[in-house]
Structure formats: structure tokens, C-alpha cells
């Protein structure tokens, strides 16, 4: 079963008719910005649509929903659609998006920033201090390769434990 792509305007109309909007991004991405009323159900998690006549899946840009369309179609108990262009297209259409600027950056963005800085420091250190510091860049490269091959990222696990990524007790 293939899923039909719909524009933000079409999605808004279907939502008004009772369709459920499901954000397939990770919880940290959803916390930083989301479409009002969207249910957060990262890929592979179970969710309950209640009696919604249809479901509209979205991600940030539409690439993740496109790449996982077969899995999303199989998980859909009713008529299902993909929001073309994701939350970015929704925002560009002038539709409301809730943004929490105080929420931490998404973990994968933190990994990219940290890994990039460590590689840069390793190269600069190897050129200016001691050639042995190139090992830092090699270590980070090996870690990223391991993460890509296995799906387990030690740097992401470590960053998730940092104080800025912990929710304050309410």
C-alpha cells in the first residue's frame, strides 16, 4: 500500500474532519517544535488513534516519512497520508507551530556538534601541539562508524545524561 502525499492545507482540512496527525520524530525533536494537536509516536512505537477516520504522518521535512512509508502504511488501521514537506512545509504555509526555544537541541544535533568539534580539535592539536592528537579525530571517526553500523551511539547516550538534557522536576 502506498501512502498519498497531501499539502499542509489539505492536511489541515482533514484534521478539521477528524483525522489524527502523528509526528514520527523522536520525543526530543517533538518537544522543541511541533504542530498543535500532533500525537508524538516515534517510528516503531505503538499509538492509539481512537476512532480517527484517517491518520496523517509527518516528520521534519518529509524525508523520514517517505523513507518509512511502507512501515507507516502497515501500522495504519485506517486511511493514511503523508504530510508533504513535513513540519517545515506546515510552517512555510503559515500554519501554527508550537516552539519551545528552551528545550535542548535534539540529541543527534548535539552529537554532530560535539563530534565535529572533537575532530576539529584533534586536527588542530595534531598540527600545533603533537601529532599524537590526531588519535582524537580517529577515535571520534571510529565511534561514528560504529554508531552507523550498529545503531548504538555512545556519544548520544553520554550527551543524554548531561544536565541540560534533563527535564526539571515539576
Tallying the residues shown for the chain, one arrives at 170
pLDDT tens digit sequence for 25-67: 988 899 989 999 999 999 888 888 888 999 999 999 999 999 9
Task: Tell me the residue ranges of DSSP E strands in 84-165.
Answer: 98-99
Q: How many angstroms from the chain centroid is the CA of residue 41?
A: 11
SS percent in the chain: helix, strand, coil, step 5: 50, 15, 35
Question: Which residue in the list 52, 56, 59, 115 is annotated as catalytic?
Answer: 59
Averaged over 100-127, what is the pLDDT? 92
pLDDT surpassing 50 at residue 169: no
pTM, 2 dp = 0.75
The average confidence (pLDDT) of the chain is: 92
Cell of 130: 603533537
| Residue 59 annotated to the active site | yes
147 CB-near residues (< 8 Å, 6+ apart):
153, 154, 155, 156
Termini Cα distance of the chain: 44
Q: How far is it between the farthest Cα atoms of the chain?
A: 65
Whole-angstrom distance, CA of residue 151 vs CA of residue 143? 11
pLDDT band at 170 (very low <50, low <70, confident <90, very high): very low
pLDDT tens digit sequence for 77-93: 899 999 999 999 999 99
Neighbours of 25 (CB within 10 A): 24
Q: For residues 156 and 111, is the Cβ–Cβ distance under 8 A?
A: yes
Whole-angstrom distance, CA of residue 144 vs CA of residue 162? 19
Amino acid at each position: 500500500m502506498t501512502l498519498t502525499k497531501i499539502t499542509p492545507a489539505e492536511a489541515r482540512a482533514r484534521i478539521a474532519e477528524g483525522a489524527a496527525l502523528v509526528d514520527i520524530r523522536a520525543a526530543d525533536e517533538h518537544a522543541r517544535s511541533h504542530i498543535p494537536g500532533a500525537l508524538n509516536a516515534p517510528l516503531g512505537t505503538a499509538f492509539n488513534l481512537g476512532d480517527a477516520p484517517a491518520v496523517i504522518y509527518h516528520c521534519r521535512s518529509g524525508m523520514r516519512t517517505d523513507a518509512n512509508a511502507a512501515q507507516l502504511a502497515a501500522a495504519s488501521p485506517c486511511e493514511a497520508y503523508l504530510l508533504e514537506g513535513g513540519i517545515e512545509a506546515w510552517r512555510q504555509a503559515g500554519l501554527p507551530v508550537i516552539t519551545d526555544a528552551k528545550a535542548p537541541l535534539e540529541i543527534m544535533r548535539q552529537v554532530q556538534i560535539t563530534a565535529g568539534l572533537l575532530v576539529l580539535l584533534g586536527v588542530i592539536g595534531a598540527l600545533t601541539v603533537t601529532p599524537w592528537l590526531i588519535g582524537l579525530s580517529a577515535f571520534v571517526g571510529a565511534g561514528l562508524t560504529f554508531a552507523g553500523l550498529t545503531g548504538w551511539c555512545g556519544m548520544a547516550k553520554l550527551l543524554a545524561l548531561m544536565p541540560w538534557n534533563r527535564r526539571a522536576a515539576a
